[in-house]
Amino acid sequence: MAAPIALSVSVFIISIVAYGIHDLLTNFEDNGCEMTYMFEYPEYQKIDIGDGQEKYPNYALHIYGEGVYANRIRNLQLNGIPVLFIPGNSGSHKQVRSLGSVALRMAERSRIKVHFNYFVVDINEELSGLYGGVLKKQTEFVHLCLQKILNFYKNAKNPPSSVVLVGHSMGGIVARGLFALPDFDSAMVNTIITQATPHQKPVVSFDEDLHNYYKRVNGFWRSEGGQADLRHVTVVSTGGGHRDVQVRYALTRLDGIVAANRAISASTTSIPKSWVSTDHRCSVWCRQMVLITQRALFDVVDPRTNQISEDADFRMKVFKHHFQSNNALPNYLTHANDSIKLDPKAQWEIKGERSWTFMNRKITKNMYFAVPLRVEEASDSIIVLSNLTNPEWLCYCDIPVGKTSCETCTSLSTHIRLLPPLYSNTKFARISFRDFEVANDTHIVISIPAGQRKISITSDRYNSDERHLVYHLPNSWDSVISYPISATDGAAMLRIQNQSVFYSLHLAGLALPTTAYKALIIPLGCRRHSAESNEGSILRLNVPWSNEETYSFSSYGKMASLMIKLQTPRPLSLAWDWHLDDSVEPHLEMFLHPYCHYQLRLLASAPDSLGQKYLEWDCPG
């Protein structure tokens, strides 16, 4: 039944003329953000902060509430975890609603009795992105608010000693700016999350006060004294990807400002379960990101105090998990190489084929699939995709000749990553046999517990010389494509093995955001006519230096396209010579359906005109 199909990938390099470029730059995927729905009427209770308010007649502090909770907090006898939202340039205080509302819903469902109190400063929708003078005033006002906020917890069982800060756009700069105030007690803040904040430099450059503000704040964060003062502070900065044309992702990065072991910078396109580019405003309400942010905040709560954990290393682990390397396991604290005990009564099946797919509606008995690794002479890698929902589903062990099972195995959970589309549960592990000791009897074990419903597993063992191809970015017709792709008549053609699930195209020389390509994966034929909505092909632009991966998914039998355009230039510190190490250059990764065969097209654009376009963005004003 499983008639093998010819899978052929051909690569066409087509230069497109100048007028096509505009389309390439502006024709992003549709806004992929989901809306956050509110069920109850939002209330922004204005808080009388007493002494000090007269200095800031245009500013105010509010606390967010809905329904019963809004009534409960009216007397300001609080006992949750305080979070202060700081809106950005011309931002309204009502922007706190998305996070505040989701935090309430999650607290209702949470098993542990933890909830968050969301505060917000109303800074009168000032243009803080243009005039530095207002930033200083806003920072001082936020400082005053923090002192007031902590006072509301006097009667709580475990009163908080710090407030979480969430800043949108310039609000993120204000959050970091607090620490540069002469009289700021840095113990008041240990967690900062910024959304589309230009940390590196202001977006416009004509205002001197703005420059001075940045100079003072970033100077403090970079200074030795600052670093010592900030050891307990963890900062997460997210940027919106290509759709945010106001604040480019490169500006949102924290490199060189916050110590690397206290900072995470990520593009929303790369964040697992987000995978969308958010435009500047949308970064506040994009539901995927709101959920991820709030989940991360629940996970950094210390169960002993029901407040944010004081352990900065622990918080970094949790944030890395949610914003960077979510492997679908709730146990981000467990260690790799953990030994797993297997069920001695389970049913075992050896899956020797090079490539196979397993689908089942209902599993009634614990099962293990054992996939031998050393079969074909040349195989050196394996990729496994599944939508299993049990946590430890992938491990390895040695099964000696004459035996058909093992008793314990070693977890491979650190290799697992999630893939789009959202809600599909798709995860993959791509394992090079170099990653661990592979003996002749080593097997990968896939664990399928009884009770799993409607599962799909695909496995493909391969030789990386045939799947990991190199494309030298030429910006011209005489593109050189490495063996085994051969070029004929300006089109490059590649014949590859049947049932190939994974390909990686190393884009050698792609180092600047001025180069743009569009990758198209076109299915030429598929074995079945219909499929589930989550089945299809996934493209990923993997950029090793900056957490700016981009993804696209297309359903079974449909064309997938992905813009190949960097958001940050490759750091000069990385080896320029691609011969040395291809792991420091971008790759186009293709996760293909084993039942289809495809053609890959790369549409290239003229670099010069694009360069100009890029410069226009770089220097507005």
Q: Residue from 71, 223, 337, 364 that binds ligand NAG (CB under 6 A)?
A: 337
The b/e string for 369-400 (b: 16+ C-beta within 10 A; e otherwise) is bbbbbeeeeebbbbbbbbbbeeebbbbbbebe
Nearer residue to ligand NAG within complex by CB, 105 or 374: 374
Place of tokens 């076109």: 522
The residue from 8, 169, 274, 479 that is catalytic is: 169
Burial 224-237 (b: 16+ CB within 10 A, else e): eebeebbebbbbbb
Question: For residue 259, how many C-alpha atoms fall within 13 Å in the half-sphere facing its CB?
Answer: 18
How many residues lie near ligand NAG (CB under 6 A)? Answer: 21
Q: Please give the structure tokens belonging to residue 516.
A: 């743009």
Half-sphere exposure of 437 (CA within 13 A, CB side): 5
Q: With binding defined as CB under 6 A, does residue 387 bind ligand NAG?
A: yes
Examine residue 484 and say whether the peptide bond preceding it is cis (omega within 30 degrees of 0). yes
Q: Which is nearer to ligand NAG, 163 or 496 (CB)?
A: 496
Of 55, 221, 51, 237, the closest CA to residue 138 belongs to: 55
Residue 488 vs 530, nearer CB to ligand NAG: 530
- 419: nearest Cα among 277, 274, 210: 274
The number of C-alpha atoms within 13 Å of 111 and in the hemisphere containing its C-beta is: 2
CB under 6 A: which stretch of 43-51, 103-111, 135-143, 451-459 binds ligand NAG? 451-459
The footprint of ligand NAG on residues 156-215 (CB under 6 A) is none
- DSSP, residue by residue, 149-201: HHHTTTTSSS--S--EEEEETHHHHHHHHGGGSTT--GGG--EEEEES---SS
Q: Note whether 524 binds ligand NAG by CB under 6 A.
A: no
Select from 1-9, 124-132, 324-332, 393-401 the region that touches ligand NAG (CB under 6 A).
Answer: 1-9
- Per CB under 6 A, does 532 bind ligand NAG? yes
Is residue 498 a contact residue for ligand NAG (CB under 6 A)?
yes
Distance separating alpha carbons of residues 425 and 539, to the nearest angstrom: 17
Work out which of 497, 555, 561, 609 binds ligand NAG, going by CB under 6 A.
497
169 is catalytic: yes
CB of 535 to ligand NAG, least distance (A): 5
Shortest approach of ligand NAG to residue 236 CB, angstroms?
A: 23
Does position 534 interact with ligand NAG (CB under 6 A)? The reply is yes
Query: Which residue of 425, 464, 475, 555 would you call a contact of ligand NAG, by CB under 6 A?
Result: 425
Of 422, 605, 531, 591, whose CA–CA distance to 33 is shortest? 422
**Identity (one letter) of the amino acid at 6?**
A
Among 339, 440, 482, 612, binds ligand NAG (CB under 6 A): 440
Nearest CA-CA partner of 586 in 596, 605, 598, 571 = 571
Task: Confirm or reject binding of residue 357 to ligand NAG (CB under 6 A).
Answer: no
Closer to ligand NAG at the Cβ: 157 or 335? 335
- Residue with Cβ nearer ligand NAG (336 or 580): 336
Residue 5 makes contact with ligand NAG by CB under 6 A: yes
Give the DSSP per-residue string, 593-611. -TTEEEEEEEEEE-HHHHH
Q: Could you tell me which stretch among 217-225, 305-313, 453-461, 610-618 binds ligand NAG (CB under 6 A)?
A: 453-461
**Quick one: 424 or 514, whose CB is closer to ligand NAG?**
424
Asked whether position 336 contacts ligand NAG by CB under 6 A, the answer is: yes
| 223 C-beta neighbours (distance < 10 Å), count | 13
Q: How many residues does the chain have?
A: 621
Q: Is 4 in the site for ligand NAG (CB under 6 A)?
A: yes
Minimum distance from residue 521 beta carbon to ligand NAG (Å): 18
CB of 410 to ligand NAG, least distance (A): 8
- Residue 68 found at the interface with ligand NAG (CB under 6 A): no
Of 237 and 500, the one with the shorter C-beta distance to ligand NAG is 500
Q: Is 436 a binder of ligand NAG (CB under 6 A)? A: yes
Judging by DSSP bridges, how do beta strands 307-308 and 394-398 pair with one another? unpaired
Q: Is 454 in the site for ligand NAG (CB under 6 A)?
A: yes
Paired with 419 in beta bridges are: none
The residues assigned a catalytic role are 169
Binding positions for ligand NAG, rule: CB under 6 A: 3-6, 335-337, 387, 389, 424-425, 436, 440, 454-456, 497-498, 532, 534-535
